Chain A
Amino acid sequence: MLPIHILKLIREVSVRIIHGRNEGSDISLTLQAVLNDRATMSTTNEDENDNLDENLQLKKQQIQADLTESLPMSNVEGSVSVQRLRPDIMDDLNWYSNEIDLSVKNLAQQALAHIHANEIILTLGYSYTVEQFFKYAASKKRQFHVFILEHAPFFTGHKMAVNLSQANIPVTVVTDSAVYAIMARVNKILIGTRSLLANGGLTAKSGTYSLALAAKNFNVPLLVCAPTYKFSPTYLPSFDPVMCNSFPSPENILSYQSSYQSSLDIVVPMHDYVPPELVTLIIGSGMGNAPSYVYRIVSELYSAEDNDLERS
């Protein structure tokens, strides 16, 4: 059966890409095109990925390369169908890449519904999605004030502050440790995330969990901006922060030249897990969703067989 060959091919490529990345494997990259044999529609289920441009280009090239290779792979009656299906597949791939490009724009369009006049909004570090969100609201002449947690040790919050103030949005940069202290003054929190898990939880920048806990304590709504490609069908097998995390070099904190190296162990986790109970609303390309509804969106985006690529 020809479509099954193609699906298998796509799955193999995806597994190779997943293994090639040095980050944790909690985000799987799958591009599934469910094709019909001769008859009617072709639907595409997409997958998410955290480094979209690079991966997408890579993916497209790989698939194109493999498609031409697969021509000899299929039999006599097969080779005719591959040629026929090829434009369909290319269409779907193009649609997929457009969807990814536009998803952030669609998300930003909803900014006016969530940001009200004279609000104080808290955010953490730098997120492209959140930046676009704020810029759109500012472009429609909405007045609001943004507090930015600087997100040590990477200090991405500084970049966010510079970008936002260029759009004439009043910003205040705050240290991470002051999050509890300022929470009483904040109206809502708007963050981006690395990925959304199938249970509605987040793997987000380190520091997000303490932000979420402080928000819960003061009953401040936590809104998460997540474009479609960030929805993941995976679950975290363990909540142990050491097991399911990646750790970059601690060079920023203590340089290699320092003299106390041998007795010191420096841990710099990249990500935090935030459980779904702490998240109020997930803003996607459609509209706002409760975290308990994420499973529905995931089941629409992915086909059930792809939830665990490593197995098949």
Chain B
Amino acid sequence: KSGCELFLRFITLAKFDTFAIDECRQKLIERGQVFLERTLSSRQRIAEYSQEFIVDGSIILTHSYSRVVLTLLAYASKFARFRVFVTESEPDKSGAKMRDELEAIGIPSICILDASVAYVMEKVTFVLMGAEAVVESGGIINKIGTFNIAIAAREMNKPFYVASESFKFVRYYPLNNRDLPDHFKYKASTIARLSEQNLEMEHPLVDYTPPAYITLLFTDIGTLTPSAVSDELIKLYI
């Protein structure tokens, strides 16, 4: 949602010197291409900016399947040796897929139960997540189970890093987990199927992690603290 909004703003807020319709069309298409290139290269840029945070001998905990984290770890594996614990992340068990892809790159990784996060946390050097959206407060919306991990990391004083591209920054400020709108938490088919009442019985697919639990965000515009997110957000959306 945020990606589309940013794209629209990017192409429509371009300056037009002439009023010829063909040139305008041309310009719009060019701007679209620029936006596309920037978003495609953003993962690589995130990997380059944050590669130095992964030092030799790190043990990293990650959650579920994230392409950004995958790119980051693949890039960092050229510079350092480290191990990864991946949570299984029910209900779709996407953690197993992440583990397979990491092993294919050559990074030793172990798939653990979601329930064993607190058990494993003392061995871990830091936690690295992707995000489905980064909200205005500096918090993130990510696969269910993220907030669990954040609380355990905070309790054990482990840094909690989030890697996300800048087009995931969304103009939204949830106050707590209950405040998340239904269309974020459940699939559209689920909402269509059930009425208002029965949604209470469904399991949400995402949760909101407040900014207090996040140490740093790695984005393609640089490394940010959660308090810097709303500043960057405003700059993006102007």
Contacts and interface: CB of A to CB of B under 8 A. Distances in A.
Interface of A: 198-200, 235, 237-240, 243, 292-293, 295-296, 299, 304, 307-308, 311
B228 A296 contact: yes
Given A235-B216, A307-B222, A311-B48, A296 B231 contact: yes
Nearest to B57: A240
The 9 closest A-B pairs by CB, nearest first: A292-B227, A295-B228, A237-B52, A237-B53, A238-B55, A199-B225, A295-B225, A235-B223, A304-B222
Contacts of B222: 304, 307
B55 A292 contact: no
A296 B215 CA distance: 17
Nearest to A304: B222
A296 B52 CA distance: 23
B55 A240 contact: yes
A298 to B, nearest CB: 9
B161 to A, nearest CB: 10
A295 B211 CA distance: 15
Residue from A198, A296, A311 with most neighbouring chain B CB atoms (10 Å): A198
Interface in B199-238: 215-216, 221-225, 227-228, 231
A198 B48 CA distance: 18
Interface in B48-65: 48-49, 52-53, 55, 58
Interface residues of B, number: 18
B216 A199 contact: yes
Interface of B: 48-49, 52-53, 55, 58, 125, 159, 215-216, 221-225, 227-228, 231
Nearest to B58: A238
Task: Say whether chain A's binding surface is mostly helix, strand, loop, or mixed.
Answer: loop
A295 B227 CA distance: 8
Contacts of B223: 198, 235
Residue from A293, A295, A307 with most neighbouring chain B CB atoms (10 Å): A295
Nearest to B159: A239
A293 B55 contact: no
Contacts of A198: 223, 225
Contacts of B159: 239
Contacts of B125: 238
A303 B221 CA distance: 12
B39 to A, nearest CB: 18
A237 B227 contact: no
A198 B228 CA distance: 10
A238 B215 CA distance: 12
Contacts of B231: 295-296, 299
B224 A295 contact: yes
A292 B48 contact: no
Contacts of B225: 198-200, 292, 295
13 contacts: A200-B225, A237-B53, A237-B55, A238-B53, A238-B58, A240-B55, A243-B55, A292-B225, A295-B228, A295-B231, A307-B222, A308-B49, A311-B48
A20 B227 CA distance: 35
Nearest to B235: A299
Nearest to B218: A235
A96 to B, nearest CB: 24
A292 B211 CA distance: 12
A163 to B, nearest CB: 36
Contact of B227 (A239, A293, A307, A308): A293
Contacts of A304: 221-222
